[in-house]
Chain A
């Protein structure tokens, strides 16, 4: 695996001068091979020998630390998630890059191939890291490589600004992580995870909690949790689409991996439940992210930006599961419920990777064919790009959590865990969990509304611009990349019971309890059930396979019935529009579609609306109407702009005092050093 990614990176460097086209092809081929190797390795470990930990020492490049890879169940599972999307992206990439930016020179293509391989390699190794140093190195490599990819797409100011914001936020997060990890390594005197685990046993409560919140801050920045999400909707759309798929589908999950590893594995106390504040905080930020993410997504008309906001939402859903698992773990009343919650979170991780990857690749197909991202300018693409439309619809159904696809399964499990958890806690705690469940339901509904808008306005109706009118279907390699993820969505939706076997090792490794399949598929692989009630009777159960079969049977029946009753031959006629000729402007626009929700949630959106009329002399003849509307991001205006103002005020203050002479500054440093040496040096 390492060899493949390394070879891909090297090849693209070597071929940079010679042929960008070849570099692009070969580097993506190497990435695909690396991803396939990762897939084989993780599947082998998860299915073949769950519970085993593979340890592979790395060459010692640092005299002060031993580097190693250690792959246990959790690592293998996230390696699987990384590899699944990486395969699709590597198949999809070359054709996309050629179609999207045909005029890119060879150095740029080679740089993209190089950064992609570094990005994938770092994410894969991050999941397998056996010590803090490897972990942090890969974390940084991942950030830098994705930054290169973000700014590589188009050379305009927007991308550069998005990249800069991403860089600043990501490094803020990394700084928090550094402090958290180094505090542990300093106590342990070594970098490997086993030593850190041992060092963490001696921590007292407040220190442990402080470290947890540092790590949570660091990982949440990367995961794009509200209110640390502001970089995400800017940076993700700016990258090439298959990289957006990787960033949204995988990179955010790597942050989840880090959180799970750090919390459950490294920092958790030896016995007893986790401190009270941890789980509830994660549950709270998860719920907030889920609701706000989908609300902001609703008002976006840039297809990729909309998808990026949905990533915020889905990370929220995953964190709801994680938070609940933290709350319930090792509680006397919790029982197997923590396993259910963690299973839900992990399952949603792979599900989101599959359908968000699929949606981003679909959006990329549209983008590469029309060069438009604003859905108001698209329309009518279903006839022109049938495969893309069909696969996008599949992804939209999955992300809206509708049966029989995979999004439904994991959200159903999250609901079960929430409702089960609500019965375990009395008083306000129970109410909070019920509130969280209600918010999750709201999220699902809003997501469905959002994708009705996105799909309808983009693919149905009439084309609104000539680019949309003359769009053609994407090339087969791009379709193939999407088909792979689409097939995964269907498979995970129809037969999720089989996927539970993959979850056995990670859940057992983290919670030291029963594996996922023992809890969730206790009644056979085709039925999902949750043994929740304290009396031991089975709680709710559902068979996704039966649901799928039922749906197919129902639709077949409806089709047959319709055939049967059809008597007169259908008559094709234009839509009746009160005698006018229908034009594309009669169709629903995305802004109009989202208007009711904009009004309902006006308190959150603070919408601004501006209508100007151009009249011809009298107010009765209107020539033209301009409409401009926008909504604000609460976190952005209330937190970030305030911080920005404070910082610029502070820098004004400093500027007034500074001389601007370099030798003056150096002299100042020297004098300070000298005084410190005189005062402190002699004392010893």
Chain B
């Protein structure tokens, strides 16, 4: 019935997981904002491919919708918005890390190792899950947050947020063969809203007081 055998799906998802981890490392290692944006766009593209693969194998029409939305919103719309914002700001193209990028990479490696360790201890739960998707999902989520925590500028923090959302998506897809459609749509709306609000904040703060979000710590009384 299904055009793909379970084993083939397994392999494809595992491979995609490896690619996802690779894009994550690209995001962490990116020294320029543009690179980080392109990497997160590529990552979203991979997520939507994974959704499409799962959709063909399970025959669940909701997954097709999710794949389409992910492609349209996360792989095209949001990176484009970020790109525009960087162009509008026209300065400070580097990511301004809090700690050196090499140190961040080391932390990311630690996170990935711990994620695999953790999901290995989940034993019986893991049997029901498609391959190595669970540790990859956890690693993506945590590394996204790590990116948010180690960057000063709001734009790179947004990139981290998207990566983290991608991780949550991937975990959900792999674990439950897709969450209910309404929840997925809700999560996507969340991301869009967050992006909108942060974009407006960044542009407004810059145009009125000529400061970045990171400088807001001067506001404390």
Q: Which of A655-678 contact B (CB under 8 A)?
A: 655, 658-664, 666-667, 669-670, 673-674, 677-678
Q: Which of B2-10, B43-51, B74-82, B147-155 contacts A (4 or more CB under 8 A)?
A: B147-155
Is there an interface contact between A684 and B121, defined as CB atoms closer than 8 Å? yes
A666 to B213 Cα, complex, angstroms: 14
Say if the beta carbon of A61 comes within 8 Å of chain B: yes
Q: Is A682 an interface residue (CB 8 A)?
A: yes
Question: Who on chain A is nearest to B149 by CB?
Answer: A667
For residue B189, give the distance in angstroms from its CB to the closest CB of chain A.
15
Whether the Cβ atoms of A666 and B149 lie closer than 8 Å is yes
Report the minimum CB–CB distance from B167 to chain A (whole Å). Answer: 13
A68 to B152, CA, bound (A): 49
Q: In the bound complex, how far is the Cα of B217 from the Cα of A658, in angstroms?
A: 10
Interface size on B, residues (CB 8 A): 27
A677 near B145 with CB under 8 A, answer: no
Query: CB-CB < 8 A to B221: which residues of A?
Result: 655
Instruction: Give A592 to B218 CA distance when docked, in angstroms.
Output: 55
B 168-221 contacts with A by CB, 8 A: 180, 182, 213-214, 216-221
User: Are A63 and B182 in contact, with the CB atoms below 8 A?
Assistant: yes
Closest Cβ of chain B to A522, distance in Å, is 54
Q: Would you call A655 and B151 a contact (CB within 8 A)? A: no
State whether the Cβ of A62 lies closer than 8 Å to any Cβ in chain B. yes
Of B122, B149, B182, B220, the residue contacting A663 (CB under 8 A) is B149
Q: Is B218 in contact with A660, judged by CB distance below 8 angstroms?
A: yes
| CB-based contact A655/B118 at 8 Å | no
Of all chain A residues, which has the CB nearest B144? A670
Q: For the complex, would chain B's binding face be called helix, strand, loop or mixed by DSSP majority?
A: helix
Q: Is the CB of A681 within 8 A of B145?
A: no
Once the chains bind, are B114 and A661 in contact (CB under 8 Å)? no
Q: A655-B220, A658-B220, A678-B114 are in contact. Are A663 and B121 (CB under 8 A)?
A: no
* Inter-chain contacts of B157 with A (CB < 8 A): 662-663, 666
A62 near B182: Cβ-Cβ < 8 Å: yes
A206-B152 Cα distance, complex, nearest whole Å? 51
The answer to whether B142 touches A670 (Cβ under 8 A) is yes
B118: nearest chain-A partner, CB-CB: A681
Chain B hits for A661, CB < 8 A? 214, 217
Contact yes or no, B214 A666, CB < 8 A: no
Q: Is B72 an interface residue (CB 8 A)?
A: no
Q: B145 contacts which of A62, A662, A669 (Cβ < 8 Å)? A: A669
B98 at the interface (CB under 8 A from A): yes
Question: Is B41 interfacial (CB-CB < 8 Å)?
Answer: no
* A660 with B220, Cβ < 8 A, contacts A674-B142, A678-B114, A681-B118 known: yes
User: Is B217 a contact of A677 with CB atoms below 8 Å?
Assistant: no
B13 on interface, CB distance cutoff 8 Å: no
Q: Are the CB atoms of B121 and A670 closer together than 8 Å?
A: no
B63 within 8 A of A: no
A202 to chain B, nearest CB (A): 30
Bound together, the chains give a CA A554 to CA B213 distance in angstroms of 79
For chain A residues 626-684, which have a beta carbon within 8 Å of chain B?
655, 658-664, 666-667, 669-670, 673-674, 677-678, 681-682, 684
Main secondary structure on chain A at its contact with chain B? Answer: helix
Contact of A667 among B118, B121, B150, B218 (CB under 8 A): B150
Q: How far is the CB of A657 from chain B (nearest CB, A)?
A: 10
A682 to B118, CA, bound (A): 6
Task: Please provide the chain A residues from 61 to 85 with a CB less than 8 Å away from any CB of chain B in the complex.
Answer: 61-63
Please give the number of chain A residues whose Cβ is less than 8 angstroms from any Cβ of chain B in the complex.
Answer: 22
Tell whether B146 is near chain A: CB-to-CB under 8 Å: yes
Min Cβ gap B144→A in Å is 10
Q: Tell me, in angstroms, the Cα distance from A684 to B117 when the chains sit together.
A: 12
B213 touches A662 (CB 8 A): yes
Across the interface, do B152 and A663 meet the contact criterion of CB distance under 8 Å? yes
A669 to B150 alpha-carbon distance, docked (Å): 12
- Do B98 and A663 touch (CB < 8 A)? yes
Residues of B within 8 A of A659 (CB): 217, 220
Which interface residue of A61, A63, A663, A678 has the most chain B CB atoms within 10 A?
A: A663
Kindly report which residue of chain B lies nearest to residue A658, judged by CB atoms.
B220
In the bound assembly, the distance between CA atoms of A669 and B161 in angstroms comes to: 14
Residue pair A677, B148 in contact (C-beta under 8 Å): no
A663 x B150 contact (CB < 8 A): yes
Instruction: Write out the residue numbers on chain B whose beta carbons fall within 8 Å of the beta carbon of A660.
Output: 216-220
- Establish whether residues B145 and A666, one from each chain, have CB atoms under 8 Å apart when the complex forms: yes
Partner of A670, one of B149, B152, B213: B149
The contact string, 1 if C-beta is below 8 Å from chain A, for chain B 94-130, is 0000100000000000010010011001100000000
Give B120's nearest chain A residue, CB to CB. Answer: A682
Q: A63-B180, A63-B182, A663-B152 known; A670 and B145 CB under 8 Å?
A: yes
Please name the residue on chain A nearest to B141 by beta carbon: A673
Q: How far is the CB of A406 from chain B (nearest CB, A)?
A: 47
Within 8 Å CB of B146, what residues of A? 670
Contacts of B111 in A (CB 8 A): 674
For residue A137, give the distance in angstroms from its CB to the closest CB of chain B.
14
State how many angstroms separate the Cβ of B93 from the closest Cβ of chain A: 19
Residues of A contacting B150 with CB < 8 Å?
Answer: 663, 667
Contact A677 B149 (CB under 8 A): no
Task: Select A666's contact among B114, B121, B148, beta carbons within 8 Å.
Answer: B148
Taking the nearest CB of chain B, how far is it from the CB of A104, in angstroms?
A: 28
Instruction: Out of B121, B145, B148, B152, name the residue touching A682 (CB < 8 Å).
Output: B121
A389 to B178 Cα, complex, angstroms: 65
A587 to B118 Cα, complex, angstroms: 83
* Chain A residues, Cβ within 8 Å of B121: 681-682, 684
- Please judge, given known A-B contacts A660-B220, A663-B98, A682-B118, whether A61 and B214 are in contact too, CB under 8 Å: no
Give bound CA distance, A286 to B177, whole Å.
54
Measured between C-beta atoms, what is the minimum distance from A106 to chain B in Å?
A: 26
Task: For the complex formed, measure the closest distance between the CB of B164 and the CB atoms of chain A, giving whole angstroms.
Answer: 10
Whole-angstrom CA separation of A658 from B146 in the bound complex: 20
Which residues of chain A have C-beta atoms less than 8 A from B98's C-beta?
Answer: 663, 667
- Which A residues from 574 to 633 make CB contacts under 8 A with B? none
Q: How far is the CB of A567 from chain B (nearest CB, A)?
A: 83
- Chain B residue nearest in CB terms to A661: B217
B148 pairs with A663, CB closer than 8 A: yes
Distance A682 CA – B182 CA, assembled complex (angstroms): 32
Contacts of B182 in A (CB 8 A): 61-63
Shortest A488–chain B CB gap in Å is 43
Nearest CB of chain A from residue B108's CB, rounded to whole Å: 12
Interface centre among A655, A667, A670, A674 (most CB of B within 10 A): A670
Identify A662's interface contact among B114, B118, B142, B214, CB under 8 A. Answer: B214
With most chain A CB atoms within 10 A of its CB, the pick from B118, B121, B149, B182 is: B149
Q: In the complex, which residues 173-207 of chain A have their Cβ closer than 8 Å to any Cβ of chain B?
A: none
- A673 partner residues in chain B, CB cutoff 8 A: 142, 145
A62–B117 Cα gap in the complex (Å)? 35
B118 and A677: CB pair below 8 A? Answer: yes
A666 to B150, CA, bound (A): 9
In the complex, what's the smallest C-beta–C-beta distance from B156 to chain A, in angstroms?
10
Whole-angstrom distance between the Cβ of B96 and the nearest chain A Cβ: 10
Provide a sorted-by-A list of 12 A–B residue pairs whose CB atoms are within 8 angstroms. A658-B220, A659-B220, A660-B219, A662-B157, A662-B213, A663-B98, A663-B148, A663-B149, A663-B150, A677-B118, A681-B118, A681-B121
Interface set of B (CB-CB < 8 Å, partner A): 98, 111, 114, 117-118, 121-122, 142, 145-146, 148-152, 154, 157, 180, 182, 213-214, 216-221
A-B contacts besides A660-B216, A663-B98, A673-B145, 14 pairs, CB < 8 Å: A61-B182, A63-B182, A658-B220, A659-B220, A662-B213, A663-B151, A664-B149, A666-B148, A666-B149, A667-B150, A669-B149, A670-B142, A670-B145, A670-B148
A contact set with B: CB distance below 8 Å: 61-63, 655, 658-664, 666-667, 669-670, 673-674, 677-678, 681-682, 684
**Closest CB pairs A-B (n = 7):** A660-B217, A667-B149, A660-B220, A666-B149, A63-B180, A681-B118, A670-B145
